[in-house]
Amino acid sequence: MRKFGLIGKKLGHSFSKKFFTEKYEREGITDAVYGLYELPGVEELPELLRQEPELAGLNVTVPYKEQVIPLLDELDEAAAAIGAVNTIKVSDGRTKGYNTDYIGFRSSLEEFYPEQERGQALVLGTGGAAKAVWAALDALRIPYLRVSRTEAEGQLSYAQLTAELLAKYNLIINTTPLGMYPHVQELPPLPYEHITGGHYCYDLVYNPIQTLFLQRCAAQGAKTLNGLPMLHLQAEAAWDIWNA
């Protein structure tokens, strides 16, 4: 029996086990199981691999997408360029890191954000998920600004987001965990009153399906998308890597 699973600090929010379990049932895959592995610290990964020698692949979620890199034997070229890993292949005792967030985000964005509407993007957050988003935006030639709690070079703070700025950036992408279950009352501190029907608002969070961020944007007439399409696309890409 081949084992696959998800590592992270808190996994109560995850849909990955449900997704893969249903996939195995639907496609008649009987030699694979998918589990959840909560690790208090990413440094416990080698011990997990020793305890579970049947593990053939892992997904990686917050906060370990960047922290896991030094623990891996090898990095895929794209994951190295992005600087974050969300998929690990285990083969002959060696680990190789990949980034399928990039694949899932890019494919879902291309469908959601029509080419004729494309302008500039605001990317909320600067963590591992944001790095995959930046790479996809670069590949699609969509200019973007990074937004975080503090101002830095090439990065705005939330306090700097004005009506004039929002008018220039019609794509807003939340890569932070704000609003993720169970903290469903949290949301990025934006001037939501300046979001319009011309905006496209994408939240990488998928639990709940409609975060407070998306609710507030939709109330202003914006088009919205949650992270479920990205989750499905990145999960299928991970499955392909594990079985290559």
Active-site positions read: 65
Q: Which of 190, 164, 192, 187 is nearest to 176 (CA)?
A: 187
Structure tokens that stand for 193 in this block = 């009153």
Q: Is residue 45 a contact partner of residue 67, using CB atoms and an 8 Å limit? A: no
Record the tokens describing residue 2, joined without a space.
């081949």
Confirm if 3 and 54 have CB atoms less than 8 A apart: yes
Tokens of residue 233, six digits: 């696309």
CB neighbours of residue 25 within 10 Å = 10
Going through the chain in order, the beta strands assigned E by DSSP cover 2-8, 32-38, 55-60, 74-75, 87-91, 94-98, 121-124, 144-148, 155-157, 171-174, 200-203, 223-225
Strands 74-75 and 87-91: unpaired
